[in-house]
Structure 1
Amino acid sequence: MTDPQALSPVAIGALAVLVALGVDRLWGEPAARWHPVVWMGRYLGWACERIATKLPTPQADRWRVFAHGALAWLLGAVLVVLAGCALARVIGGVSGWLQVLALGLLLKPLLAWRMLRDEVRAVEAALADSLPAGRERLAWLVSRDVSTLDAAQVRESAIETLAENLNDSVVAPLFWFAVAGLPGAALYRFANTADAMWGYRGERQGRDWTWAGKWAARADDVLSWLPARLTAALLGALGATSTWRHLPSQAGLTPSPNSGWPMAAMALALNVSLAKPGVYTLHPAGRSPQAADTGRALQLAGRVVGALALLAGVVILFAAGRAFA
């Protein structure tokens, strides 16, 4: 491993993960003008005006609108994957340690642990100041109406967002990076961003997304299926919960086939009840979350991120052992 050229592709990938997590911890997100997820959002915002109809979508136009949404998604996905492949090819031609640094820096914007952690902390800090301040800060994180939420519901929403986005912003991008390299991580972030912007049933911002966003929602469901369950497993294992048998039934209470898994695992690990009024209640036997539970949730999520870094370290040691064998 002392010779840069001796670094195997597996070791380079694992080291890049450590670089990405390290940069995220130290500096957080890059400026918007350099952020690939911001670029994805701009494309999706441009396309949304061309695929979603003004309310309501006529019956005869539903499949046409669905096809337009699918084609716009596929075009964006192809562009993202091609960009990822091109960048991977370019940095693949440089020396091992320089390749590690470049790959880690390119991977970093596709994951966002520090920003997620800081935003959830900010909700709790604002809630300690006043309920209106807590609601206002939560509105930065969620798309639901927060105006009628009480303090417990604001806290529940923040913890739910932490659990769900631990998958979407950390575990899933790293999972797809491990499976398909930089193009895989980029494709996942595009799919997740498209779902966040298009994956709605009914009206949003004056347009009907029921059919226009259906492809984006289903694509994100497919790509998130395994990572969401992996996130739940990590939360359950590191949270030392003894209620594993309840996890599948609790996860199935949410409309999403995936987001319920990390949220239910978090609820069970903390022994708190997490609910979205009128939609679901996870672990109803749990107590209402208190301020300290937000800190416990952040601690547990941090342990998951640490476990992923440790796993990358184990992969590096394994690759080094094989190189010297």
Structure 2
Amino acid sequence: MPLLLPLVMLVALLVDRLFGEPPARLHPVVGIGHYLNLFGARLSRLPPGPAFVGGALAWLLGALLCAAIALGLEILLMQGLQPWASWPGLLACALALGLLLKPLLAWALLADEVREVEAALQRSLDEGRARLSRLVSRDTRRLSATEVREAAIETLAENLNDSVVAPLFWFAIAGLPGAALYRFANTADAMWGYRDHREWSGKFAARADDLLSWIPARLTALMMIPLRQLPALAREAPRTPSPNSGWPMAAMALGLGLSLGKPGVYRLNETKGVAPAAAHLAPALALAGRALQGSVALLMLLAWSLRA
């Protein structure tokens, strides 16, 4: 059965390309968001100690539920379709698991949203800022056109890992439960992991996401650049506050010869990069697409080798 998980990855990516996201009422990430909202506001009002403990317990319970549901579905499919018994069983199981894996990753939506930021920016700066605000947590109201493009390209690079490569990495390692656990962790970090009133209640979630994203973020970055740029990547990536997001973002900056950054926080490839312009969007999407292809090929090989 070594071919099952590689086939599932291909099915999930094909469904993503052809059909995009499922309806919100059926989307597991929406369900994860509802779960996190049950606790978020209450925990953030607690003193630091109780907020940290409460946040950790809520995270652990949610992660356990996600992994358990995914494991139960995987076992039911494996027992019912018996993919090891015949080619029809293998293909049917790959299709069913691929449909379940698809909502845990999102490449087509990410690429479309980044394109829409540039399209809105072509109409007006205010429209570009408003469209970008759907993708990033930073305040976009005072960003220049260059800064809007910087943020969009950075988001493309960062979420190439968070929304596609990392879920596939954990799927290759631990099947559907691994992908579900990662998606829960990444969503929890996106909703709780900030240095504001949520700092203590979200600290466990932030650290868990850092841990689970550590290898995939570096894999994503390595797929974007030639080997000769590794020293520059190792120098630039740690400039961001996050231990992981700087790797794919720095790789994107180096791969395209751009200077990318967040005002007052960090600057990547500052001395050799140029400011992003409208013409850089297509090369950024192409570079991300090639990095995705390389990552998927490697992860398919990993999934196959672990089960051969």
TM (norm. structure 1) is: 0.88
Write out per-residue CA displacement over residues 210-247 of structure 1, whole angstroms, 9 at most, x where no aligned residue.
1010000000000000100000101114xxx7432111
- Which AA in structure 1 matches 2:198? W
- Select between 20-29 and 285-294 the one with higher mean Cα deviation: 285-294
**110, 122, 125: which is aligned to 1:128?**
122
**125, 144, 160: which is aligned to 1:150?**
144
Counterpart CA distance in 2 for 1:69 and 1:102 is: 34
Paired residues in the alignment total: 298
Write out per-residue CA displacement over residues 108-163 of structure 1, whole angstroms, 9 at most, x where no aligned residue.
00000000000000001111111111111101101111111111000000000000
Alpha carbons 1:23, 1:105 under 8 Å: kept: yes
- In structure 1, the partner of 2:290 is 303
Alpha-carbon spacing, 1:181–1:278, altered in 2? closer, same or farther (3 Å): same
Counterpart CA distance in 2 for 1:215 and 1:247 is: 28
Q: What is the DSSP-based 3-state SS (H/G/I as helix, E as strand, rest coil) of the residue aligned with 1:252?
A: helix
**60, 65, 76: which is aligned to 1:90?**
76
Unaligned 5+ segments in structure 1 are 1-7, 203-207
Alpha carbons 1:172, 1:227 under 8 Å: kept: yes
- In structure 2, the partner of 1:5 is none
- In structure 2, the partner of 1:17 is 9
Alpha-carbon spacing, 1:312–1:66, altered in 2? closer, same or farther (3 Å): closer
Alpha carbons 1:199, 1:209 under 8 Å: kept: yes
- 2:37 counterpart of 1:45: yes
Counterpart CA distance in 1 for 2:78 and 2:284 is: 39
- In structure 2, the partner of 1:291 is 278
- In structure 2, the partner of 1:4 is none
Alpha carbons 1:15, 1:312 under 8 Å: kept: no
- In structure 2, the partner of 1:36 is 28
Higher-Rg member (1/2): 1
- 2:79 counterpart of 1:79: no
- In structure 1, the partner of 2:19 is 27
- In structure 1, the partner of 2:84 is none
- In structure 1, the partner of 2:230 is 244
Alpha-carbon spacing, 1:110–1:73, altered in 2? closer, same or farther (3 Å): same
Sequence identity, in percent? 57
Shift in Å at residue 98 of structure 1?
A: 1.1
**134, 153, 168: which is aligned to 1:159?**
153
**178, 186, 204: which is aligned to 2:180?**
186
Shift in Å at residue 171 of structure 1?
A: 0.5
Counterpart CA distance in 1 for 2:194 and 2:28 is: 23
Alpha carbons 1:113, 1:169 under 8 Å: kept: yes
- In structure 1, the partner of 2:85 is none
- 2:245 counterpart of 1:259: yes
Unaligned 5+ segments in structure 2 are 82-88
Alpha-carbon spacing, 1:309–1:210, altered in 2? closer, same or farther (3 Å): closer
Alpha carbons 2:193, 2:206 under 8 Å: kept: yes
Alpha carbons 1:70, 1:215 under 8 Å: kept: yes
Counterpart CA distance in 1 for 2:174 and 2:303 is: 18
- In structure 2, the partner of 1:111 is 105
Shift in Å at residue 312 of structure 1?
A: 6.3
- Select between 41-50 and 227-236 the one with higher mean Cα deviation: 41-50
Write out per-residue CA displacement over residues 144-200 of structure 1, whole angstroms, 9 at most, x where no aligned residue.
111111110000000000000000001000000001100000000000000000001
Alpha carbons 1:21, 1:309 under 8 Å: kept: no
Write out per-residue CA displacement over residues 90-114 of structure 1, whole angstroms, 9 at most, x where no aligned residue.
0111122211111100000000000
Counterpart CA distance in 1 for 2:300 and 2:68 is: 29
Alpha carbons 1:18, 1:312 under 8 Å: kept: no
Alpha carbons 1:167, 1:231 under 8 Å: kept: yes
- 2:205 counterpart of 1:209: no
Shift in Å at residue 318 of structure 1?
A: 8.4
- Which AA in structure 2 matches 1:120? V
- In structure 1, the partner of 2:191 is 197
Q: What is the DSSP-based 3-state SS (H/G/I as helix, E as strand, rest coil) of the residue aligned with 1:92?
A: helix
Alpha carbons 2:221, 2:247 under 8 Å: kept: yes
Counterpart CA distance in 2 for 1:14 and 1:165 is: 22
Counterpart CA distance in 1 for 2:233 and 2:78 is: 42
Alpha carbons 2:173, 2:303 under 8 Å: kept: no
- In structure 2, the partner of 1:231 is 220
Shift in Å at residue 313 of structure 1?
A: 6.7
Alpha carbons 1:272, 1:287 under 8 Å: kept: yes
- Which AA in structure 2 matches 1:106? L
